[in-house]
Amino acid sequence: MALADDIRKLGADTRAALTAALDYHYQTIAIWERMVADVSQGVTFGVQNKATGRVADQAEVARNALAYIDKYLTPATFQQLITTFEAFFFDLLALWLRDHPGILLRKQVELETVLAAADTTAVLQGVIDRELNEVKYRKVAEWFEYLRKLVSVPGPSADQVAALAEAKASRDILVHGKGLVNPVYVAKAGAKARYAVGDVLELPDPYVRTTFGLVETVVGDVAATVASKA
């Protein structure tokens, strides 16, 4: 029962974190857009950077608002959505493996590691960390195949998994590819690819909202299903 409770809490905490991230995102956009609207109505102000002494007037700050929303804020929020999902997924696997250590009985451990560990719990945690670190580098579809080997879960659907894979590929382009679509993105995103090689990857609000809904739904469904099997 403790495992089921832990999984339900993990799911609830993750969904709360996703909602908080989106609230922050939209309320921050509202502040920037409010400022732009004020400038359009004739409001004036200056912002001095005390480190450099440079002063930006209201027109410059209003011009920068576009980049602050589309280039910084939205990619940061999007990355947080995907990172939060990844943390949920691998925390879930770790909870399950800690409660079902027999799954890992055939894994080899260096004697040096055993001797250096405080107790068998620490040895098991080391094996779980190593196992999951290896899984993390696989494709998203393979993450769910791994989960299904541990516990029989019907979802998420193939379409949901493909959409998650595209979202993760988009995140990877933002983090590692300077926002320019490359062949790796196209390969990872498959049929769900939104852009061609060489395109600038954008995060229109409808896409961000769809991704939020997808992640929130998958987290809720997977947590509920796995908890029911614990």
Partner 1 sequence: MTGPIPQPPIPLYTSDRGGGMFQIPSSRLEEVHSVLDHHGVPYWDSPIELTLDGRPPIRTIHLSVKADLKLVRTLLDSLA
Is 41 a binder of partner 1 (CB under 8 A)?
A: yes
Is 158 a binder of partner 1 (CB under 8 A)?
A: no
| Pairwise CA distance, residues 49 & 56, whole Å | 8
Residue 48 pairs in a beta bridge with 55
Is 61 a binder of partner 1 (CB under 8 A)?
A: no
**CA Rg, the chain, in Å?**
22
Site size toward partner 1 (CB under 8 A) is 24
In three-state secondary structure terms, 152 is coil
- Closest to partner 1 by CB, 80 vs 225, is 80
| Pairwise CA distance, residues 125 & 71, whole Å | 39
Residue 191 pairs in a beta bridge with none
| Pairwise CA distance, residues 112 & 210, whole Å | 48
Is 69 a binder of partner 1 (CB under 8 A)?
A: yes
Given candidates 10, 21, 62, 189, which one binds partner 1 under the rule CB under 8 A? 62
Residue 46 pairs in a beta bridge with 57
Given candidates 45, 145, 202, 210, which one binds partner 1 under the rule CB under 8 A? 202
Is 210 a binder of partner 1 (CB under 8 A)?
A: no
- Closest to partner 1 by CB, 69 vs 224, is 69
Inter-residue contact 27 to 109 (CB < 8 Å): no
Question: Which stretches of the chain bind partner 1, using CB under 8 A?
Answer: 26, 29-30, 33-34, 36-38, 40-41, 62-63, 65-67, 69-71, 200, 202, 204-206, 209
